[in-house]
Chains A and B, each alone.
Chain A
Amino acid sequence: MPTSFFTGTDYALSLPMILLSLFGLGVLIIDLMLPAEWKRWNAITALIGLGFSTAAVMRIQLGHFADGRPLVGSFAYLSNVGGQVVGSVLMDGFSIYFFYLFLLGAAIAILMSAHYLEIEHEHHGEFYALILFSVVGMMCMASGYDLVLLFIGLELMAISTYVLVGFLRRDKRSNEAALKYLLLGAFSSGIFAYGLSLLYGLSGSTNLQVIAQALQRHYSANPKDPIAIVAMITTATGLLFKVAAVPFHQWAPDAYEGAPTSVTGYMSVAVKSAAWAMLLRIFLWGLYPLRPVYLPLLVFVSVATMTVGNFAALSQNNLKRLLAYSSISHVGYMLLGLIASDNITNKTGIQGILVYLLVYTFMNLGAFAVVTSLRRRDIIGDEIDDIAGLYSKAPTEAVLMLLFLLSLAGIPPLAGFYGKYFIFLSLIQTQHYVLASLAVLYAVLGLYYYMRIGSAMFMRPATDPEPVAISPGMQVALAVTAIGTVGIGILPEFFIRAAGWSLGIQQAGTSLLGFLR
């Protein structure tokens, strides 16, 4: 039993979260002193906070992983070798990879938001503070190794996001989206918490590793233990709600459509990645002994998700709703990776999910950045008619949007291809040929609705002649997402290796730690 509960190592390992919380509070206080025309400084403060937090993550990555030995604190544990872990925070490559992903998504979302909020006349510092707080929650979700921390992280992220969705408080649609998201989000959290209580009852501990050991004993004693199965189903329901998998997807299109466009982008990448991080952590670490039980469930959910997502997207005329359904179908593909790989005998699928989430961050935020920039004085700019003729008004943006859409469809020279490639590869490696062919067919279907947007942009005349104005922040966001989408497509090596490193895969060639350093 350790005598002190929070040692120096613990501070070092939780520094990224502490810094973000401090900057979030700082933004709230600074906002009170800023005159209305200086509100932009809030965005800059938040970006600086993200920068400091990134530096802290790098410090953990380079400083603590350098000698390959785990540092032991009492609150947070660093692990890149096996062994008994009983802390609340597990800082391994997996956590670090997701930390970078969240910071990237948040930074791009902030760049997209500044000008958009000015147009909406809702430019308040709270927006940026909430984004920073939600990133803290996400970090807890990715690195949590204890049910308490996972639950608190989930709720910190979710509650911040409820407010962000309803941020346009005078707008009926934003209110309604926030209400639906809140009710269904709280409902799913309740179900999730019930699952956690049963897991605690089975193991007598809130630590994922102890839970896994207890479940292993239960499963070998009685594979059909009803309590274990109910615990698994309720926990899985809560998690699948958060990633918006069918049949728990109903909230996603509504919340995505009504939310401020930049928040929709943020929700579809960072919030979704965080939910995925927690889902993988619980399914592959905590619930791993029940894998034979949850596998059929996942196959059903994944096929249903791909089917509903792709078919519902075909008939949408609202861009945000279409992208919401497309994001549901992407979740279906990612679930296939979890079905194929168990992270012990085969890691390709999990690596594929990590690569997928990274490229998805770039291409989906890019697409949402273009939709955000269509917002003008009196036009919300989220119908397909609003993007018609974009090529004649803003050729660069139209070409970029086409790149993002092709990447979302998974066309080879672009980043989206590698996400799908690894998922399908893992399915073939594990002899899931039926699922693989089904997924490929659905990917073809996806091309149709993405190209509907494409043909509207290039083939149809513009509905109104007003030019599209792109603010400097948006230009940076578009440039970063475009470089990410094309860059990962052309030079995928680094990113694939980074995902492999985060799962502790031994890789041939240059030493990966040296490569990342």
Chain B
Amino acid sequence: MVPLSYYLVLSAVLFACGVAGFLMKRNIITIFMCIELMLNGVNLAFVAFAAHWHRLSGQVFVFFVMVVAAAEAAVGLAIIISVFRTRETLNVDRVNLLKL
């Protein structure tokens, strides 16, 4: 039996990898994958807690997070395609018409 803390550490590491990638990567697709990584860290935490508490609600939440991630990916990729059509680049540093 693997203790709960192992899962939580792994989920925190996954989440931190996602956050670090989001902040450091410059390619839009990679940034988007980092967000998915964050959500997967969340999913792992939910599943681990659901097993710990012997309740299903955490696993149900994971399904909803997966649905949300899929919907976000669909909309996100559509937006990325339309950005690419008007600019021919996928580097966030060159998507800079609006001043930051």
Contact = CB atoms under 8 A, between A and B. Distances in A.
Interface in A112-171: 147-148, 151-152, 155, 159, 162-163, 166, 169-171
A152 B42 CA distance: 15
B35 A187 contact: yes
Contacts of B82: 166, 169, 175, 178
A152 B70 CA distance: 13
A180 B64 CA distance: 24
A479 interface: no
Contacts of A179: 28, 79-80, 83, 92, 95
A381 to B, nearest CB: 17
Contacts of B86: 170-172, 175
Contacts of B52: 201, 204
B58 A182 contact: no
Contacts of B65: 151, 193
A179 B83 CA distance: 8
A182 B69 CA distance: 12
Interface stretch (A250-258, A417-425, A496-504): A250-258
Interface in B50-100: 52-53, 55, 57-58, 60-61, 64-65, 68, 71-72, 75-76, 78-80, 82-83, 86-87, 92, 95-98, 100
B67 to A, nearest CB: 8
Contacts of B95: 176, 179-180
Nearest to A170: B86
Contacts of A171: 86
A343 interface: no
Contacts of A258: 97-98
Interface in A190-212: 190-191, 193-194, 196-198, 200-201, 204-206
Contacts of A173: 97-98
A371 B55 CA distance: 52
A155 B72 contact: yes
Contacts of A148: 57, 60-61, 64
Given A147-B61, A151-B65, A194-B15, A172 B97 contact: yes
Interface size class of B (residues with CB under 8 A): 35 or more
A250 B99 CA distance: 11
A162 B79 CA distance: 9
A198 B52 CA distance: 13
A206 to B, nearest CB: 5
B57 A205 contact: yes
A187 B79 contact: no
Interface string A386-423: 00000000000000000000000000000000000000
Contacts of A152: 64, 68
Contacts of B49: 197, 200-201, 204
Nearest to A256: B98
Nearest to A162: B75
Nearest to A251: B100
Contact of A183 (B8, B11, B32, B97): B32
A151 B83 contact: no
A28 interface: no
B40 to A, nearest CB: 10
A324 B67 CA distance: 31
Contacts of A190: 15, 18, 35, 38-39, 42
Nearest to B28: A179
A186 interface: yes
- Tell which of B52, B79, B83 has the most Cβ of chain A within 10 Å: B79
A177 interface: yes
Contacts of B18: 190
A516 B71 CA distance: 40
B41 A254 contact: no
A169 B71 CA distance: 19
- Tell which of A147, A155, A183 has the most Cβ of chain B within 10 Å: A183
25 contacts: A148-B60, A151-B61, A159-B71, A159-B72, A162-B76, A162-B79, A171-B86, A173-B97, A175-B83, A176-B95, A179-B79, A182-B79, A186-B32, A186-B72, A190-B42, A191-B38, A194-B38, A194-B42, A194-B45, A197-B11, A197-B58, A200-B49, A201-B8, A206-B58, A250-B100
Given A180-B95, A180-B98, A201-B8, 5 more contacts: A155-B68, A176-B83, A182-B76, A191-B19, A193-B38
Interface of A: 147-148, 151-152, 155, 159, 162-163, 166, 169-173, 175-180, 182-183, 186-187, 189-191, 193-194, 196-198, 200-201, 204-206, 250, 253-254, 257-258
Nearest 5 CB-CB pairings of A with B: A190-B38, A204-B53, A197-B45, A201-B49, A193-B42
Interface of B: 8, 11, 15, 18-19, 22, 28, 31-32, 35, 38-39, 41-42, 45-46, 48-49, 52-53, 55, 57-58, 60-61, 64-65, 68, 71-72, 75-76, 78-80, 82-83, 86-87, 92, 95-98, 100
